[in-house]
Structure 1
Amino acid sequence: MPVSLQVIYPVTEGTKFDHAYYADTHFQIVDEHMGAHIQTIVVTKGLAGGPDTPAPYYAIATMTFADQAAMDAAMKAAGPALEDIPNFTDVKPQMLIGEVVS
């Protein structure tokens, strides 16, 4: 059964997030070290939380995997990607692991 990993970067006062580095460099690192295990990646840049409401998140990355074993293998290889996080943000990312239902 497919599973997903969402990495969520919440906006909090006084934090920074370098979208260019995230898109151009960080995801090259993710692909190099974890890509063989990932089926799809969708990255969403936060624009708004609704009409006249600022975005509550800088970005959300959603990665899907064929099954739990594939995600486990990707996570074992994730060290360089995790170590790269301070290069584009000082936000502590949140994660959601889930079962893909549709």
Structure 2
Amino acid sequence: MAVSLQVIYPISDGKTFDFDYYTSTHFDLVGEHMGAHMDSMLVTKGLAGGPDVPPGIFAVASLLFKDQDALNAAMQAAGPVLEDIPNFTNVQPQMLIGEVIS
């Protein structure tokens, strides 16, 4: 069964996020170290939390894997990706690993 890894970067006071670095450098690291194990990746930049509500999240990265074994292999290769996070944000990302049901 397919599984997903979502990496969520919440907004709070004093937190920053460099989208230029994220898209120009961090994405390349994800592809280099985890890409062989992924089926796809979708990244969403937060624009709003609803009508006339500022966003509560900088970004959400959704990575899709064929199965748990593929996710496990990607996570074993993810060291350089995780080490790069402080280069674009001071946010402690939240992660959600889930079964893809639709």
Please classify the TM superposition score into its range, dividing by the shorter chain length.
over 0.9
- TM-score normalized with structure 1 length: 0.99
Large movers: runs of 4+ above 2 Å: none
In the alignment, what sits opposite 2:24?
Answer: 24
How much does 1:47 deviate?
0.4
Q: What pairs up with 1:1-102 in 2 under 5 angstroms?
A: 1-102=1-102
Unpaired segments of 5 or more residues in structure 1? Answer: none
Q: Give the whole-Å Cα distance in 2 for the aligned partners of 1:88 and 1:67.
A: 29
Q: Give the whole-Å Cα distance in 1 for the aligned partners of 2:14 and 2:47.
A: 18
| 2:31 aligned partner, one-letter code | D
Q: Give the whole-Å Cα distance in 2 for the aligned partners of 1:40 and 1:56.
A: 25
How much does 1:56 deviate?
0.5
Q: Give the whole-Å Cα distance in 2 for the aligned partners of 1:15 and 1:3.
A: 29
How much does 1:96 deviate?
0.3
How much does 1:29 deviate?
0.3
Task: For residues 71-96 of structure 1, give each alpha carbon's deviation from its aligned partner in whole angstroms, at most 9, with x where no partner exists.
Answer: 00000000000000000000000000
- TM-score normalized with structure 2 length: 0.99
Percentage of identical aligned residues? 65
How much does 1:46 deviate?
0.3
| 2:92 aligned partner, one-letter code | K
**Aligned residue pair count:** 102
